[in-house]
Structure 1
Amino acid sequence: MTRIDRRALFTSGAAAALLAAAGGSVNASPKAGGVLRLAVPREHGMLEQAARGAVYDTLTEIAPDGLLRGELATSWLSAPDARAWTFDLREGVTFHDGRQLTAEDAAASLNVLGATGLEVRAATALGSHQLLLELEQPNPHLPYLLADADHIIAPRGARHVPLAEAVGTGCYRVERAQEDRHFRASKVAGHYKAGTAGWADTVEIIVIPDASVRAEALRDGYVDVAALPEPRGVLKRGEFLYHPSSRDMALAARHDVGIPRKVGQRAPLDDGRIAERWWRV
């Protein structure tokens, strides 16, 4: 396949109309609204990573500048030996099905079987919004490790579900999804991150295995951001935004996409949080 099948590209029913570019947008102030459409390859689990980053939250988050901040946790304290940690959870947070987040959900999500690599001996709810994590070994870096996408918080610990059934506390609620093919989600109204993240009204992710076809989809306005290994070919330098640069690129975007001043470098697609961090101008 070397040309785009314009009728079949968004088989999920996503809009495929060409949107006019609106000028440069690097480092512009975030703007709410619009649809952010991403094209990713099938390998490396990029669709899964970006989709789950939109739907789920973790206790902590590492910002694009590398600084640790609370997400579902508002504060934490360790015992002197760093083997027991107490986390206070954000109150008033609801899952996409309307149920309130509690420490029981966090404990179930971070139990000894689910918290891979953390060596959690026991995860216990001390109250409705306080969590105790007891470790097998001292670990002063636990809050940083909890920011990893492997440690998402799900209702009653139900983390390993198909994307179409995913229910989290993230900025976006799943509308429809098909593994390794496409994903569409809408912004959650009144989310606790409103005004700081989750700018687009709708996020769409589509898998396009061929890099040249992803580039064509970007050029022709079918998608707004594409994971691309290089800017040559159908793309002309100067007409698109490249991250990190046109010489060493991972992502290319149209000029009507807002890119944060700093982009997370730990994993592809802005540490999997591209859906909530990038915006449409």
Structure 2
Amino acid sequence: MQWRPELSRRHFLGVSAAATLGLMGAPLRAQTGPKRGGHFRLGVGGGATTDTLDPANWKPFMTSYGHALHGYLTEVGADGVLRGEVAESWEASPDAKIWTFKLRAGLEFHNGKSLSAEDVIASLNHHRGEGSKSAAKAILASVVDIRADGPDVVVVELATGNADFPYLLDDYHLPMMPAKDGLADTSGVGLGGYVLEMTDFGVKASATRFANYWKPNAAWFDSIEVLAIHDATARTNALLTGQIHAMDRADLKTIHMLERNQGIEITSIAGTQHYTMPMLVDQAPYSNKDLRLALKYGIDRQQFLDTILRGYGQIGNDHPISPAMRYAAKDLPQRAYDPDRAKFHFEKAGLSGTKLSLSTAEAAFPGAVDAAVLYQQNLAAAGIEIDVLREPNDGYWDNVWTKKPWCTAFWSGRATEDWMFSQVYASGTEWNDTRWGNERFDELLLKARAELDENLRGEMYAEMQGIVHEDGGVVVPVFANYVGAMSRKIGHGTIGTSWALDGYRSTERWWFAEEA
């Protein structure tokens, strides 16, 4: 089976069709098209002193900066079509177990080394093996062998067929790095449009344009700078005063300030991003299914959407598959706010009188603290008392997420159902942030991945969504649009839906626009 763009489009059509771009404020000014030059400054709501150049452990701050430095085997375009990036083309065996990737000729790393198959092998193997702590380990868990077939061909053999495998290689943890003594060089040397200049983790990082970048119509800026600005108000003020040119995760409580500014453009992109409240199910009392059900019935999702998101999203149903995705379980009953049922399950769990603690910070998602307080009020109507613990923004993802028994979090989502489930919900995966496991779920995950019959595959994914909805350790109240803002000095084309900030490729795809 040889890759063709029209086949790839079908895999991503659900999310692409749901994408919306809101352009608010002053009328759009005329643009003459992309041009080179300038120093671009991006403010992101993440970053910690524990950040690293090793992509195996990238978190929000490094995803934007890392995409500037690196290239990937595949790329989900702004139009939702999967394309080759480092890989020029690929073919699959009839059972989708063996994938053969032809590498693009003439690609050069920032250190002058020419790309070869050994670099791809080292880059993928960096995330494999028993000792790997990579967030992408689960993505490559089915890989049994990676080998070269000459200097520019890489063959990947899977234990079971996976029709979506090329999509997985766009995961932001899987950039191509130069091989050094058979291992991947994680020093930041890449194939991307920009060369590492400096990093001050938790504060900022900068890079300059790579003179020998292979893409002719990309990486328009002379230099870029990514700044970690956790506080949404501080990010907004930085944009309004010209200290940054663009920002992610706009504060919806104060977005009216940006809407009134004629020099600011607001973007609202519907995709797979969702806000969550994960529980560690290997710790009491969250190991009790009735408690988990009590907390799921105890949240007013419509109020959450209206109050926290100002309508910029859709209601969730306690599983991670967006309504826009291909195999969304549209027949799964929507869980509604029901204080009486929440109280019933809480008492059935034997927890009457028990006070719970929910850890939160604005670093989790914009409005997370207000969301936790709103949730506290919702649960009070069911007789469930919780303390809202406001944690420091700095280090939240290292010290709270997956460490505290119940917290607020968000996921940007993934392009396919298998990708999301494999990385976050399969038993024992590194990024399973509830430590939840379900034997039937794991069985269906393997079967669905290799199933070529679309109807059967859809039935299995629907059952899996039902299992997480009923048994899982996460509350998913809403799917949130990617809402950001930028100076009207910045030009851009269609903004992609696969991740935030134009698929985390804003530094490559955007430019300084000419004034009308």
- Tell me by how many angstroms 1:213 deviates: 1.4
Aligned residues: 253
The C-alpha deviation readout for 1:194-233, integer Å capped at 9, x for no partner, is 2x21111111111112211111111111110012223234
Match of 1:272 among 492, 500, 504: 504
* 8 Å contact kept, 1:25–1:257: no
- Tell me by how many angstroms 1:79 deviates: 1.2
Indicate the residue corresponding to 1:221 in structure 2.
242
* 8 Å contact kept, 1:216–1:234: no
* 8 Å contact kept, 1:28–1:259: no
2:272 matched to 1:244?
Answer: no
The one-letter code matched in structure 2 to 1:213 is A
- Tell me by how many angstroms 1:124 deviates: 0.7
* 8 Å contact kept, 1:243–1:251: yes
* 8 Å contact kept, 2:46–2:60: yes
Match of 1:258 among 479, 491, 503: 491
2:95 matched to 1:74?
Answer: no
The one-letter code matched in structure 2 to 1:268 is A
* 8 Å contact kept, 1:26–1:258: no
Give identity over the alignment, percent. 33
Q: Give runs of ≥4 in structure 1 deviating > 4 Å.
A: 23-28
TM-score of the two chains, using structure 1 as the length reference: 0.83
Indicate the residue corresponding to 1:143 in structure 2.
166
- For residues 43-58 of structure 1, the aligned pairs below 5 Å read 45-58=59-72
Indicate the residue corresponding to 1:208 in structure 2.
229
- Tell me by how many angstroms 1:41 deviates: 1.4
SS at match of 1:42: coil
Structure 1 residues 27 and 123: CA distance shift in structure 2, 3 A = farther
CA distance in 2, matches of 1:46, 1:229: 17
Structure 1 residues 155 and 32: CA distance shift in structure 2, 3 A = same
Indicate the residue corresponding to 2:42 in structure 1.
38
- Tell me by how many angstroms 1:266 deviates: 2.1
* 8 Å contact kept, 1:103–1:128: yes
* 8 Å contact kept, 2:258–2:266: no
Structure 1 residues 139 and 79: CA distance shift in structure 2, 3 A = same
* 8 Å contact kept, 1:172–1:188: yes
Larger RCO (CA under 8 A, 6+ residues apart): 1
Bigger-Rg structure (1/2): 2
Match of 2:214 among 192, 203, 209: 192
- Tell me by how many angstroms 1:28 deviates: 5.7
Report the aligned-residue RMSD: 2.3
* 8 Å contact kept, 1:240–1:252: yes
- Tell me by how many angstroms 1:42 deviates: 2.2
Q: Where does the alignment leave 5 or more consecutive residues of structure 2 unmatched?
A: 1-26, 48-57, 270-309, 313-481
Indicate the residue corresponding to 2:78 in structure 1.
64
- Tell me by how many angstroms 1:55 deviates: 0.6
- Tell me by how many angstroms 1:46 deviates: 2.8
Q: Where does the alignment leave 5 or more consecutive residues of structure 1 unmatched?
A: 1-22
